[in-house]
Amino acid sequence: MWSKSQEEVKIKMAVLLTKDTKVIVQGITGYQGLFHAKKMREYGTQVVGGTRPGKGGTEIEGFKVFDTVKEAMQETGATASVIFIPASGVKEAAFEAIDAGIELLVVITEHVPKVDVITIVEKAKKHKINMIGPNCPGIITPGQAKIGITPGNIVSPGKVGVVSRSGTLTYEVLEQLTKAGVGQSTCVGIGGDPYKATNFIEVLEMFEKDPETEKIVMIGEIGGSAEEKAAQYIKEHVTKPVVGFIAGKTAKKGKTMGHAGAIIQGNVGTAKGKIEALQSVGVKVAERLSEIPKLLES
Amino acid sequence: MWSKSQEEVKIKMAVLLTKDTKVIVQGITGYQGLFHAKKMREYGTQVVGGTRPGKGGTEIEGFKVFDTVKEAMQETGATASVIFIPASGVKEAAFEAIDAGIELLVVITEHVPKVDVITIVEKAKKHKINMIGPNCPGIITPGQAKIGITPGNIVSPGKVGVVSRSGTLTYEVLEQLTKAGVGQSTCVGIGGDPYKATNFIEVLEMFEKDPETEKIVMIGEIGGSAEEKAAQYIKEHVTKPVVGFIAGKTAKKGKTMGHAGAIIQGNVGTAKGKIEALQSVGVKVAERLSEIPKLLES
Amino acid sequence: MIKIGLILEFEGKNLFRKYNIPLVNSMLVTNEQEAIEASQKLGLPVAVKAQVLSGGRGKRGLIKIAKTPEEVVEKAKEILNMESDGRPVTHLLIEEAETIKQELFVSMLFDPETYDVKVLFSPKGGIDIETLAKEEPEAIETFIIPFGDRSYPYYFMYKLKERGIQSKQVVPLARIISTLVKMLYDEDLQLAEINPLVINDKGEVIALDSRVVTDDDALFKHPERKNYLSETLRHTKAEKEAEEAGLSFVDLDGDIGMLSCGAGMGMATADLIEYFGGEPRNFLDVGGGASPEKVSEALRIMMEEGGLKAILINAFGGITRLDDVAKGIIDAKEKYNINIPLVIRLTGTNQEEGVRILKEHGLKAYLDMEESIEDVVKESRGGQN
Amino acid sequence: MIKIGLILEFEGKNLFRKYNIPLVNSMLVTNEQEAIEASQKLGLPVAVKAQVLSGGRGKRGLIKIAKTPEEVVEKAKEILNMESDGRPVTHLLIEEAETIKQELFVSMLFDPETYDVKVLFSPKGGIDIETLAKEEPEAIETFIIPFGDRSYPYYFMYKLKERGIQSKQVVPLARIISTLVKMLYDEDLQLAEINPLVINDKGEVIALDSRVVTDDDALFKHPERKNYLSETLRHTKAEKEAEEAGLSFVDLDGDIGMLSCGAGMGMATADLIEYFGGEPRNFLDVGGGASPEKVSEALRIMMEEGGLKAILINAFGGITRLDDVAKGIIDAKEKYNINIPLVIRLTGTNQEEGVRILKEHGLKAYLDMEESIEDVVKESRGGQN
């Protein structure tokens, strides 16, 4: 039986994604949108329809198509939306979803202009909605539902929460875990862009509070200081075991973004620095992805 | 002795302008700015300095010049500012004054772009400051102080509050009142632009509450519906006698601003309509300006 | 002060084009030969449209359809021989003729009361929108966009769908409306209107006309507008010269020239002239803070325009310095042949100095407005009451 | 995907010019004759500045002052014979030489953590700003502008005056800084930097250099950037071709060609290649959702670039469909002469279909990443461990 505070936490985690979450796809008539709407439905997600302005009232492969997010939400009871729309239309699509009152917004599209991303994220914050992305694989709750593009056949239900900055690398980790018999509670791909709605810390907080999650895997890569900040957060707030991995150990030192970039960000951003930061707070860092299941056991 | 509520009102009116109000002039080194800074000082206004970015630390005709409004306020204790700056610089100047924490802002400049005016007024509202203008003669409290360009020699202290949409017409009315021995409590020239910070209603409210004001003169002109709205307000909230005047009785019907203008504004805007609206709520409307003193007596 | 305000159809459409509002192809021409060439490039049939400022062009025969090259010549000739607003028609827009399935109406402006953007939309557009507003007001929808909200198409999609507009048209329509809202801010417009906004036989939504009023006070942000054809079309020679001198010139019908500072004062002065039985011929507003040169130039323009029996200069100095006004009067009197009575009234800032200057040059100044107006009315009747 | 990012000095200055940031006159030239003509128009002395992407041009002899026409020829020749970033210098900016009284530094970007605009300013500008940051960090001021705040010059005037900048310079400086903030938003810049920002002998503040990093993801809003010279300068032929095909190409030093979908996966793959003792030669990222054509084109570019002993295709299909990847591989194998070992690993979306297609054409697909990498490292050594 759950205690009250655990019950609250359970509800909070459910906000992200369960088998009961009703999802719409913005851009459902597009090549990627339709393909992944079907994949999500096959996996068990309640994909209740999608939007394509101008095609409202039609149907595509069994999905209802609406002109607007508001209509889709009103008619289907959807609370989550996933955006599969070209970069130039993402700002408008995200604004529409937020203004329509969506609770969870996942933006898969990559190459969204940075000023647009920041503008969207600020609006999402102001409206206190959960937003993941852009340029991310989305969320999968194994055995229940997925929003986004994570292949459904590489996950299995279990107790390990996975959070990752990288798209394809996430899949690799999930598959390794599944092959090794280590199931996952939820996997959140936060996306690889420097500017994004949800970062490691927010997901670590959810995993720490989520009774379904016992251990955490965190996949980072070179650049920025998100992993260093996450290490600080882990030190102060995370009691569950964390296993980490950092990609880009052999990368050449890239060109900096100019003096301001170098000065502002200091020496953070290298794989070495990130690995050390994580190890210093007790995170076991895998050298190869294939070591992760073993490190989780120990 | 004042009762408490009257005391509060007295303070509110004092917010606009008394002999103790410290005023700075934005654009004090310009031809108009300097000329009227001197006129204001001659009248008794506490003009404690002005701004001209780049000339900070200098003096001009005995006025201290500062680079920024914030410095001017900090060093002089000024709470009011008057803007004598070309139209293209008004938005920035007004924003600076509002951000610096000015309490009363008077914009004399005419031909400020309408989008700029609206933007400034919205900011002034948000910061809850008193703003008058743009394109207005400003405020004069006879015998105490003036902010703006109303000539000091045509007013005399007394009990009639004057509010006007027109610049030069206001002077004419003030002079006629003074010549007829009718003194004024305060005269507020709200400006002739369609978009402005303070309109008739706000000033009528101040006059109604101001214990120094016994009667009110209101000068309107053709166009818009501010006089009609004021009439409605007078009916509901103003107990003091009001005498009105509307300029433009013989004006040809002007070109409308297009269909939307005509449809939105309907038939309001003619001198005839305004005079009837005012008369219907008990306002005595003068046919000639020279009749105003007589109408105030009756 | 250059006054442009309302701009011509093709100028409005050039603005629309910049914002990707859908239009049909068109070319601006000034004679029949160019009209023929344009119609060959565009393909027949074409619409031949007079570029004039007043509305109701269809009813007035200023828009005609031409189906053959002969008709193009004929219609262009016809329209170029017509007049509008007291001027010959000089420019035509030759435009691909559209097959119209439905005419809509959209118009918007900043509401002076609330500062919101007020959008009017009607699925029943066309030439009779003001009649429609009177007879069938429920056919016109009003959408309010709070000031500062950069509206997005989806906002109007919701609104239009609630009004039963079809899915297919709702998208381009909503995009056009939200673009116009953006243009109000970014282009400093006082009015943006499309009537008719048509749905053609292919189901496309197209702006077939433009009615755009620009904010002259924002000219410094859009200096290219100084070269607009609408600017040159709007004015008489006197108005044009007044503009160039930074003055405001209003043409009336009488015989008394009126020079004053400030529009309200000018209106009240005109009211009083009529009250005392006179007729103002024109009204030159030198605005606030006029220099001697401006005042002198105003008098020159007034004299050149002619038809005056007397001139009234009614100056109440606020931001204007009356010594400057006096200097301007003296300058004009010395340079131009002012052979009609000059009635002057000065009160306000630097009044004593102004009166002194006039006196030195043998000119009297009234201090009282009504007295001066009674006098000028008398002078306009040859000195008799 | 076109990648521009950092743009050349003269391109940055063209952007500055659009926003009225004060500059000295300059002209772009490509040979000595043009350099002479430019210096005649501008007046001597002039600065001869190589238009290259790497910094530290002064130290590297890529900026020289010429005081006579002979010196212009000589310096232009010298610099045009130099190299930077592995390429010959092809373009020079000939610029009026400035008399410098003081060198300042200003740089700004959106902070990825807070989304605020972070402005760095130092009254000690010049070539050694990174050294200054280390040795005298207090000489660099940081101003934070909350996201969305369209900062006005007065904001920076306050800040700069607090730092003791003189009244006279505070105005132009504040205007430049606030303009740069505006440019970050309106021009979609990732970095806007002026170093040195100089005060000349007349007390004027002038941008003597530009360092501007554009956001390639916003190219659709600024399509003119596709024609920037910096775009053509940045890339090797293979990189250029990869770009045109919408691919990301990274040059490395080894002998294994790597094709993968997604940057993180690419990095992890490179890490593992080195872990197993191999050396990646290059890394072609086809991104998410790649079509068969894209995969095929990637392999063509990789083969043409040459220097490979083996190729690893490591595809984990999320948004990418593995049947598409397989089709692309088959297409490339049939069209181009791929005579080196091709190690393929496929897992994810439509994996079965992908493996089937490869099998039909006699190609094996690994499912395990480490196995595939161990294999490709072995192949790169001629099949030996």
Chains that touch B (3 or more CB pairs under 8 A): C, D
Task: Give me the residues of A, 176-215, that contact D with CB < 8 A.
Answer: 192, 194-195
Q: With 90 as the cut, is the pLDDT of residue C138 above it?
A: no
Domain-terminating residue out of C234, C249, C284 = C234
Whether residue A8 has pLDDT greater than 60? no
In this structure, the answer to whether residues C245 and C147 fall within a common structural domain is no
Same domain? For D349 and D216 the reply is no
Q: What was the pLDDT predicted at A62?
A: 97
Which residues in B lie closer than 8 A to residue C287 (C-beta atoms)?
A: 110
What does the pLDDT read at residue A252?
A: 57
- A245 forms bridges with which residues in the sheet? A219, A286
CA distances to A259, B208, C297 from B161, in Å? 62, 9, 38
Q: Tell me, what CATH number does C41's domain have?
A: 3.30.1490.20
pLDDT digits (tens, 9 = 90+) for C336-356: 989 899 999 998 888 999 999
Residue D385 lies in a domain: no
Judged by average pLDDT, the poorest of C196-210, D12-26, D248-262, D312-326 is D248-262
Q: How far is B35 from chain D (nearest CA, A)?
A: 24
Same domain, D10 and D92: no
Query: Residue C5 has what pLDDT?
Result: 87
Given C79, C97, C115, the domain boundary residue is: C97
Q: Which residues pair with A202 in a beta bridge?
A: none
Contact flag B194-C268 (C-beta cutoff 8 Å): no
Across B54-73, average pLDDT:
96
Is the ipTM higher than 0.95? The answer is no
Contacting residues of C for A71, CB less than 8 Å apart: 158, 161
* pLDDT exceeds cutoff 70 at D199: yes
Percent of chain A with pLDDT over 90: 78
Domain with C54 in it: 25-97
- Give the closest of B221, B224, B258 to C191, CB-based: B258
Min CA distance, C190 vs chain A (Å)?
26
For A198, which residue in chain D has the nearest alpha carbon?
D113
**Searching chain A, which residue's CA lies closest to the CA of residue C174?**
A53
Instruction: For residues A101-108, give the mean pLDDT.
Output: 97
pLDDT in tens, C8-38: 999 999 999 999 999 999 999 999 999 999 9
Per-residue model confidence as pLDDT tens digits over D317-372: 777 889 999 999 999 999 998 989 999 999 888 899 999 999 999 999 998 899 99
Q: Measured between alpha carbons, how far is D74 from D32 in angstroms, rounded to an integer?
A: 8
Query: What's the mean pLDDT in C319-335?
Result: 92
Distance linking the first and last C-alpha atoms of chain A: 28
Mean predicted confidence (pLDDT) in D304-319: 88
Does B256 score more than 50 pLDDT?
no
CB D332 within 8 Å of CB D299: yes
Q: Do C260 and C325 share a domain, yes or no?
A: yes
| Average pLDDT for A148-177 | 92
d(CA A271, CA A287): 11
What pLDDT is recorded for position C54? Answer: 84
C-alpha to C-alpha distance for B220 and B241, rounded to whole angstroms: 16
Contact: chain B with chain A (3+ CB pairs below 8 Å): no
Q: What pLDDT, on the 0 to 100 scale, is given for residue B244?
A: 97
pLDDT of residue B15: 44
* Residue B3 pLDDT: 37
CB A195 within 8 A of CB A114: yes
Burial A87-126 (b: 16+ CB within 10 A, else e): bbbbbbbbbbbbbbebbbbbbbbbbbbbbbbbbbbebbee
Q: What is the pLDDT of residue A7?
A: 42
Q: Look at residue A259 and tell me whether its pLDDT is greater than 50.
A: no
Q: In the beta sheet, which residues pair with residue C27?
A: C94
**CA proximity to B247, closest of B287, B292, B188:** B287
Domain check: are C148 and C125 in the same one? yes
Mutate to test the interface with C, among B38, B168, B264 (most CBs of C within 10 A): B168
D168 in any annotated domain: yes
pLDDT of B252 > 70? The answer is: no
pLDDT grade, residue B1 (50/70/90)? very low
Q: What is the pLDDT of residue C212?
A: 95
Q: Are residues C15 and C116 in the same domain?
A: yes
**Cβ contact, residue pair A260, D109, below 8 Å:** yes
Per-residue pLDDT at B209: 93
- The structure tokens listed for A83 are 């955006």
Q: Count residue pairs from A and C with Cβ separation < 8 A.
A: 41
**What per-residue string of b and e applies to D111-147 under the rule 16 or more CB within 10 Å gives b?**
bbbebbbbbbbbbebbbebeebbeeeeeebeebebeb
Residue B225: which pLDDT band, with cuts at 50, 70 and 90? confident
| Structure-block tokens of residue A242 | 């964390």
A-chain CB neighbours of D112 within 8 Å are 194-195, 224
Q: Measured between CB atoms, which of B168, B245, B289 is closest to C262?
A: B168
In terms of domains, do D132 and D6 share one? yes
pLDDT band at B81 (very low <50, low <70, confident <90, very high): very high
- Percentage of chain C lying above the pLDDT 90 cut: 61
Check if A96 contacts C (Cβ < 8 Å).
Answer: yes
H or E element, residue D210: none
Chains A and C make contact, 3+ CB pairs within 8 Å = yes
Q: Are residues C137 and C181 both part of a single domain?
A: yes
Reported as a single tens digit per residue, the pLDDT across C160-190 is 988 888 888 899 999 999 999 999 999 999 9
Ranking B131-145, C284-298, D71-85 by mean pLDDT, the lowest is C284-298
Buried b (16+ CB within 10 A) or exposed e, B15-27: ebbeeebbbbbbb
Q: Which residues of C touch B111 (CB under 8 A)?
A: 1, 216-217
Nearest to C17 by CA among C202, C213, C183, C156: C183
- Check whether A253 has a pLDDT greater than 50: no
Selected residue of B259, B270, B285, B294 to mutate for chain C interface (largest C Cβ count, 10 A):
B259
Segment of A246-250, C90-94, C159-163, C235-239 carrying the highest mean pLDDT: C90-94
Q: Which among D76, D97, D118 is the end of a domain?
A: D97
Higher pLDDT, B242 or D2: B242
Q: What is the pLDDT of residue A6?
A: 41
Catalytic residue among A36, A127, A237, A259: A259
Both C224 and C130 in a single domain?
yes
* C98 alpha carbon, distance to own chain's centre: 29
Side chain identity, residue D378: K
Active site residues per annotation of B = 259
pLDDT of residue D165: 83
Model-level pTM?
Answer: 0.85
In terms of domains, do C104 and C89 share one?
A: no
Interface check for A55 against chain C (CB to CB < 8 A): the answer is yes
Cβ–Cβ contacts within 10 Å for residue B89, how many?
15
Q: Which domains, from first to last, does chain B contain?
A: 6-132 (3.40.50.720), 138-297 (3.40.50.261)
A67 interfaces chain C, CB cutoff of 8 Å: yes
Nearest Cα to Cα of residue D126 among D198, D24, D49, D66: D198
Closest Cα in chain C, distance from residue A77 (Å): 17
| Residue B57 to residue D167, Cβ atoms within 8 A | yes
pLDDT of the residue at C147: 84
CA distances from A101 to A97, B256, C146, C286 (A): 6, 41, 19, 55
Let me know if residue D118 belongs to a domain.
yes
CA closest to D155 among chain B residues: B96
Looking at the structure, do residues C63 and C185 belong to the same domain, yes or no? no
Strand order in the sheet with C63-66: C26-29, C92-96, C46-50, C63-66
The answer to whether residues C17 and C135 belong to one domain is yes
Provide the CA D10 distance to its chain's centre, in angstroms. 16
Contacts A99 to C, Cβ<8 Å: 152, 154-155
Is pLDDT of D260 > 60?
A: yes
Q: How many domains does chain C have?
A: 3
Confidence of residue D69 (pLDDT cuts 50, 70, 90): very high
Q: What is the mean pLDDT of residues A201-226?
A: 93
How many CB pairs lie under 8 A apart between chains B and D? Answer: 41
In a domain, C385, yes or no: no
Residue whose C-alpha is closest to residue C264's, from B275, B137, D40, D97: B137
What's the pLDDT tens digit per position in D26-61?
999 999 999 999 999 999 999 999 999 888 898 899
CA distance C372 to C346: 10
- Is residue C314 in a domain? yes
